[in-house]
């Protein structure tokens, strides 16, 4: 079962269902099921607070139910074919992705800056070597 309770990011529920069924088939458990919820930051914060006592949003939560338990999100009762619940917050995933991208860009700039400094130092070393060769030539010619 798939539910999309957020409206900011379009989710193709049919395609997602198809992928989940394919994964279950690959894992050789085609008769098993999962509950997948796409939710807003506020909803994720609430779920995270209830499940983990952390009053903040996160990218994804996953959990299985203890024997005989009832899942308040999906309404499903734990059973031999119910694998568990996945809760995804697309807004948090996007923020995390952008933060990772920015971190990689900063790292790339730092690496390129260091490479430029190394090149400048190499050019300076070559200039010093050329000057030393010129000084040696002058000394040899003068002697």
Question: Would you give per-residue pLDDT tens digits along the chain (143 residues)?
Answer: 889 999 999 999 999 999 888 888 888 888 888 889 999 999 999 999 998 999 999 999 988 877 677 777 777 776 777 888 899 999 999 999 888 888 878 777 777 787 778 777 777 788 888 888 888 988 888 87
Edge-to-edge strand list for the sheet holding 2-4: 2-4, 33-38, 82-88, 60-63
DSSP assignment string, 4-27: E---SS---HHHHHHHHHHHHHHT
């Amino acid at each position: 079962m798939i539910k999309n309770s957020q409206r900011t990011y379009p989710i193709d529920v049919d395609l997602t269902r198809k992928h989940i069924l394919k994964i279950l088939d690959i894992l050789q458990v085609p008769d098993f099921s999962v509950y997948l919820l796409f939710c807003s930051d506020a909803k994720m914060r609430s779920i995270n607070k209830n499940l983990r006592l952390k009053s903040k949003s996160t990218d994804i939560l996953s959990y299985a139910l203890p024997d005989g338990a009832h899942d308040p999100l999906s309404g499903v009762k734990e059973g031999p074919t119910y694998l568990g619940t996945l809760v995804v917050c697309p807004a948090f995933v996007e923020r995390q992705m952008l933060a990772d991208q920015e971190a990689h860009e900063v790292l790339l700039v730092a690496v390129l800056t260091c490479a430029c400094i190394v090149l400048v130092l190499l050019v300076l070393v070559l200039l010093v070597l050329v000057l030393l060769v010129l000084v040696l030539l002058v000394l040899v010619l003068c002697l």
